[in-house]
Chain A
Amino acid sequence: MATVAPLIEIQGLVKRFGSVVALDGLDLTVLPGEVHGFLGPNGAGKSTTLRSLLGLLRTQGGRATVFGLDPWRDAVEIHRRVAYVPGDVSLWPNLSGGETIDLLLRMRDVRPDPARRADLLERFELDPTKKGRAYSKGNRQKVALVAAFAGPADLLVLDEPTSGLDPLMEQVFNDCLAEHRADGATVLLSSHILSEVEALADRVTIIREGRAVESGSLAELRHLRRSRVHAEITGGLPDLAGLPGLHDLALTDHTVTCTVDPDGLPGLLTALGAAGVRSLSSAPPRSRSCSSTCTGARRELAGPPRRHGAPGAVRAAPGPAAGLGLGRPARAVLLRLGSGDRHAVPDAAGPGAGRRADQLQPGGGGAVRPDPRRHQPG
């Protein structure tokens, strides 16, 4: 990893809009050929970062390079190799979709390839003869996506590219992304949906309030998907030491607190059941860096959560941040679950299914500022 020169490198980037600090010392490294997920709640600074990388914004501190070039000074040079899909696509009201696609391609010095273009239009089920003002949000996004995918690009910068697409179109998007990746393209993909990034990305950076709070490969960030389990035991303490996928184990006379990988959950529940459970709470997966700083999580760590009803019932933990600890994103995931979306959180099935209910809990940690000093690398 250290031997490969990064394609995008950001160190300590600062961007202020008046008195509002949008980026507060952001670090981000994207390696050539990878799909990098850029995850964070709304307003965390994702779009600001992407727009800074495109030289659209003037940053006030830190350093950023794309292809080893300066995004502000060498914007045009960089843009020749970049395809960009903004988060909120706006089209020229009087230009047709087809005209817009060809215009955006030609402005990137790409000659539109009729076959490739027709193929993409068909796959995305897009009518190119409509005028810009007549397209819905999803269709506007498709116009930008077709324009981005219809030409070669060394780097794809995609800002929440699937937010307006239906599940079938998301699949088309994933296929197109895979094709470009096979051609050697690097992808920086922002999202506030863990499952979307999880399905596509090699590595993930999580941003909160203008700072990167986590970064690493999905394997390295496995702890993001760990559940925190707290149980009160009626009998003797079970022997949990040998169980796979168990972390951060803390035992008192009658309580067990630990985090557990999705795979380890069945084993843990079996062992606890054998020991006899008076109450059990399970908190949803979250970023550890956040859980150690969210006040809700601290409260949880300081003492057991409120008593729950029947023994063995899997109940939601009160208070602490749901989902990734990112607040809103969890609700977004849930909405998708509710609409029968295939983007179920991968570990939501099985004995831990109660965590779907967990995510109904309002995100309490959303407004809490992460403290990097408390950050414990996973």
Chain B
Amino acid sequence: MVALYGPILDVTSLGEVAMTKATVLYAMFVMALALVLVRRHTRVEEETGRAELLTATRVGREAPLASAVLEAGLVVTTVAFLAAAGDIAGGLPVQGSVLFAASWWGSGLVGIGLAAVACQLTASARTAAFIGAAAIGALYLLRAAGDTSAGWLSWISPLGWNTQLRAWSDPRWGVLLLYPAITGLLVGGAVLLRNWRDLGAGLFADRPGPAEGSPRLRDVLALTLKLHTASLAAWTAVALVLGLVFGSIVTNLGSLFDSPQAQEMLRRIGGEGAVADAMLAAILSVVAMVLTAFGIGVAAHGGTDERDGRTEEVLATATPRSLTIAAVLAVSLLGATWLLLVSGVATAVGYGVQAGGLTHSLGRVVGAALAPAPAVWVVVALAVLGLSLGSRWAMLGWVFLAGFVTVGLVGELLNLPTWVIELSPYQHVAKVPVEPVDWGAEAALTAAALALMAIAWWRFARRDIG
């Protein structure tokens, strides 16, 4: 739990306990938001050539970067204000709320800095996204390692500062200065890099590709798979590392929570039952939400391909529409399921090594990792349904995911009505292995996913392309 959410430094503070999840995990989402915004307005614009149009006018070379940083800064600040207002309205101490929001703001700033640098390194907007996401992931893992073993590691990661700030009790105001300082360094570095490189180019030149296509690259399914192979490999690495790290620390954590007070606290946050099982269930449910992003990314990418005219080029060949949308469905759903499986196996391995006996853990943990699969399918199917309604709706999946994650993680905290919380398919999955698998819910979610897929498939064959 410490690894997942960060430590609870003062278990008597209501604010600290309530906002444990939000302190680190949500701060990561704010970082990711900053990454999306900055990348969208710098590297994506360069890749599409729109930046060329703009910088040819009376606009300086650094202007797109500067405006992207500024915009993302405004968004992050707004989010922080809303977070502070929400906490205060929720009855938490004012000073703590403000400081807590400041930690989000700081994380967002660091995210902006990371994204600004990541977008200078490579000509590909997708690779830039990977680099940025990998950096955020690395900071998260650094903090996880720091909070559970070597404490100094937490001080290297800005996500660790969020906890070390001690927003809710005995705050360290000085920590707040660290965020802008590191952000300033990162953005300054990005500007230097930008001035060093050509428009549209990365820091390193593109390697030439093969002069001929592989015979295997012959239909839209092979094409869709090829377009997402690199992404799937990166995500597989993420699933592997997350699984191994969390699996191995699950068993260590019982000792950190040896006071009855802490044990009680832990049970309240994560679920009931044995500490390790509660942790596994909590970790795997969050991992499932994170891995859903791969499937949504595939659907969103389909929208970009269509808007740019590449789907038109495919459909002008002897490629049926049904095959085109089926390829998107196959890669997104099978990819996400594969990632769940990888995370499950990796968690089981990490857990088994510590707990002494892989055979004991494998089936149980992998089963627990796959339990949320039908919920993941529903969300991915919703994303593909968005694509099949029209290319501009292809981003709809992200909205659904953000909504479901929000109601799932803070819905009960904010006392949202039950029906709102139950809109999220993730809420209908039993907390395996603490609870037994709810086969009825699994079947219902699978049926819902199938129905959504059928609608998407039907709709895509009947609309204008472009």
| Residues of A in contact with B (beta carbons under 8 Å apart) | 51, 54-58, 75-76, 79-80, 82, 84, 86, 88-104, 106-109, 112, 114, 128-131, 133-134, 144, 157
What sequence of 0s and 1s flags, for each residue 263-305 of chain B, a beta carbon within 8 Å of any chain A beta carbon? 0000000000000000000000000000000000000000001
Q: Do A58 and B217 have beta carbons less than 8 Å apart?
A: no
Interface residues of B in 193-230 (CB under 8 A from A): 200, 206, 208-215, 217-220, 223, 226-227, 230
A-B contact pairs, 30 of them (CB 8 A): A58-B464, A75-B315, A76-B318, A79-B315, A79-B316, A84-B313, A86-B309, A86-B312, A86-B316, A90-B309, A90-B310, A93-B125, A93-B126, A94-B124, A95-B213, A95-B226, A96-B211, A98-B212, A99-B210, A99-B212, A99-B213, A102-B212, A103-B223, A106-B213, A106-B218, A107-B314, A109-B318, A133-B124, A134-B123, A144-B313
Q: Do A56 and B212 have beta carbons less than 8 Å apart?
A: no
Number of interface residues of B (CB under 8 A): 42
- B466 close to A (CB within 8 Å): yes
What sequence of 0s and 1s flags, for each residue 429-466 of chain B, a beta carbon within 8 Å of any chain A beta carbon? 00000000000000000000000000000000011111
| Residues of B in contact with A (beta carbons under 8 Å apart) | 47, 123-126, 200, 206, 208-215, 217-220, 223, 226-227, 230, 305, 308-310, 312-321, 462-466
Tell me, rounded to whole Å, the shortest Cβ–Cβ distance linking B228 to chain A: 11
**Given A86-B312, A89-B309, A134-B206, also A76-B320 (CB < 8 A):** yes
Tell me, rounded to whole Å, the shortest Cβ–Cβ distance linking B53 to chain A: 13
Report the separation of the CA atoms of residues A101 and B314 in the bound assembly, to the nearest whole angstrom. Answer: 12
Tell me, rounded to whole Å, the shortest Cβ–Cβ distance linking B306 to chain A: 10
Tell me, rounded to whole Å, the shortest Cβ–Cβ distance linking B216 to chain A: 10
Report the separation of the CA atoms of residues A104 and B217 in the bound assembly, to the nearest whole angstrom. Answer: 10
Q: Do A98 and B312 have beta carbons less than 8 Å apart?
A: no
User: Pick the contact of B213 from A58, A76, A102 — CB < 8 Å?
Assistant: A102
Residues on the A chain within 8 Å of B313, using CB: 84, 86, 89-90, 104, 144
Report the separation of the CA atoms of residues A134 and B215 in the bound assembly, to the nearest whole angstrom. Answer: 23
Residues on the A chain within 8 Å of B317, using CB: 79, 84, 104, 107-108
Report the separation of the CA atoms of residues A109 and B220 in the bound assembly, to the nearest whole angstrom. Answer: 12
Q: Which of B212, B217, B305 gathers most chain A CB within 10 Å?
A: B212
Tell me, rounded to whole Å, the shortest Cβ–Cβ distance linking A182 to chain B: 24
**Given A56-B465, A107-B218, A133-B123, also A82-B212 (CB < 8 A):** no
User: Pick the contact of A90 from B217, B230, B308 — CB < 8 Å?
Assistant: B308
- The 9 A-B residue pairs whose C-beta atoms are closest, nearest first, are A96-B209, A102-B213, A107-B317, A106-B218, A129-B208, A99-B213, A84-B316, A90-B309, A98-B211
Residues on the A chain within 8 Å of B227, using CB: 92, 94
Report the separation of the CA atoms of residues A89 and B321 in the bound assembly, to the nearest whole angstrom. Answer: 20
Q: Do A98 and B464 have beta carbons less than 8 Å apart?
A: no
User: Pick the contact of B464 from A56, A82, A101 — CB < 8 Å?
Assistant: A56
Residues on the A chain within 8 Å of B47, using CB: 93, 133
Report the separation of the CA atoms of residues A277 and B109 in the bound assembly, to the nearest whole angstrom. Answer: 78
Tell me, rounded to whole Å, the shortest Cβ–Cβ distance linking A142 to chain B: 14
Residues on the B chain within 8 Å of A128, using CB: 211-212
Beyond A90-B310, A128-B211, 12 extra complex contacts between A and B, CB < 8 Å: A51-B466, A56-B315, A79-B315, A90-B309, A93-B47, A99-B213, A102-B213, A103-B223, A107-B318, A107-B319, A131-B206, A134-B206
Q: Do B318 and A88 have beta carbons less than 8 Å apart?
A: no
Q: Do A88 and B217 have beta carbons less than 8 Å apart?
A: no
Q: Do A57 and B315 have beta carbons less than 8 Å apart?
A: no
Report the separation of the CA atoms of residues A109 and B315 in the bound assembly, to the nearest whole angstrom. Answer: 13
Report the separation of the CA atoms of residues A330 and B187 in the bound assembly, to the nearest whole angstrom. Answer: 49
Q: Do A101 and B124 have beta carbons less than 8 Å apart?
A: no
Q: Which residue of A lies closest to B314 (CB)?
A: A107
Tell me, rounded to whole Å, the shortest Cβ–Cβ distance linking A15 to chain B: 9
Residues on the A chain within 8 Å of B466, using CB: 51, 56-57
Q: Do A57 and B314 have beta carbons less than 8 Å apart?
A: no
**Given A92-B310, A134-B206, also A101-B213 (CB < 8 A):** yes
Q: Do B212 and A112 have beta carbons less than 8 Å apart?
A: yes
Q: Which residue of A lies closest to B205 (CB)?
A: A134
Residues on the A chain within 8 Å of B123, using CB: 133-134
Report the separation of the CA atoms of residues A157 and B313 in the bound assembly, to the nearest whole angstrom. Answer: 12
Tell me, rounded to whole Å, the shortest Cβ–Cβ distance linking A35 to chain B: 20
Tell me, rounded to whole Å, the shortest Cβ–Cβ distance linking B449 to chain A: 28
Residues on the A chain within 8 Å of B230, using CB: 94
Residues on the A chain within 8 Å of B217, using CB: 99, 102-103, 106
Q: Which residue of B lies closest to A72 (CB)?
A: B462
Q: Which residue of A lies closest to B206 (CB)?
A: A131
Tell me, rounded to whole Å, the shortest Cβ–Cβ distance linking A204 to chain B: 24
Q: Do A107 and B219 have beta carbons less than 8 Å apart?
A: yes
Residues on the A chain within 8 Å of B220, using CB: 107
**Given A92-B227, A94-B227, A102-B212, also A133-B315 (CB < 8 A):** no
Tell me, rounded to whole Å, the shortest Cβ–Cβ distance linking B398 to chain A: 21
**Given A54-B316, A90-B309, A90-B310, also A98-B219 (CB < 8 A):** no
Report the separation of the CA atoms of residues A329 and B385 in the bound assembly, to the nearest whole angstrom. Answer: 42
Tell me, rounded to whole Å, the shortest Cβ–Cβ distance linking A94 to chain B: 7
User: Pick the contact of B465 from A57, A82, A88, A106 — CB < 8 Å?
Assistant: A57
Q: Do A56 and B316 have beta carbons less than 8 Å apart?
A: yes
Q: Which residue of A lies closest to B463 (CB)?
A: A58
Tell me, rounded to whole Å, the shortest Cβ–Cβ distance linking A141 to chain B: 12
Report the separation of the CA atoms of residues A101 and B318 in the bound assembly, to the nearest whole angstrom. Answer: 15
Residues on the A chain within 8 Å of B316, using CB: 54, 56, 79, 82, 84, 86, 157
